[in-house]
Amino acid sequence: MNGAVTVNGREHELEPGETVERLLERLDLGVRYALVERNGDPVERAAYGSVELAPGDTVVVARPVAGG
């Protein structure tokens, strides 16, 4: 067990040393346009590949959508 993170309100088991980018890829969330918040703080796109998630983290993944 590596523990779990909450992504958009749903729990997901973590892989060892899982980064934001790896999580996005594993959950098929589209790294290209994903906007990520970790524990309430925005994650810079340049850091997606280096920020490792920890058990208990709360992650929000958003993206641009049509709007006025």
Partner 1 sequence: MEGHGSLWRRLRGGHEAATAEPDLGHASEGREVQDTLTIAGREFSSRLITGTGKYETFELMRDAVVASGCEMVTVAVRRIDLDAGDEANILDFLPEDVLLLPNTAGCETAEEAVRVARLARAGGLPDWVKLEVIPDPRHLLPDPVETLRAAEILVADGFTVLPYMLPDPVLARRLAEAGCATVMPLAAPIGTGRGLKLRDSIRIMVEEAEVPVIVDAGLGAPSHAAEAMELGADAVLVNTAIARADDPVTMARAFRLAVEAGRAGHLAGVMDEQATAQPSSPVGGLVTQS
Is there binding between residue 49 and partner 1 (CB under 8 A)? yes
Element (H, E) at 38: strand 35-38
Q: Residue from 2, 15, 35, 56 that binds partner 1 (CB under 8 A)?
A: 35
Is there binding between residue 11 and partner 1 (CB under 8 A)? no
Q: Residue from 2, 13, 56, 63 that binds partner 1 (CB under 8 A)?
A: 63
14/26 Cα distance (integer angstroms): 10
52/66 Cα distance (integer angstroms): 31
In angstroms, give the least distance from the CB of 15 to partner 1: 17
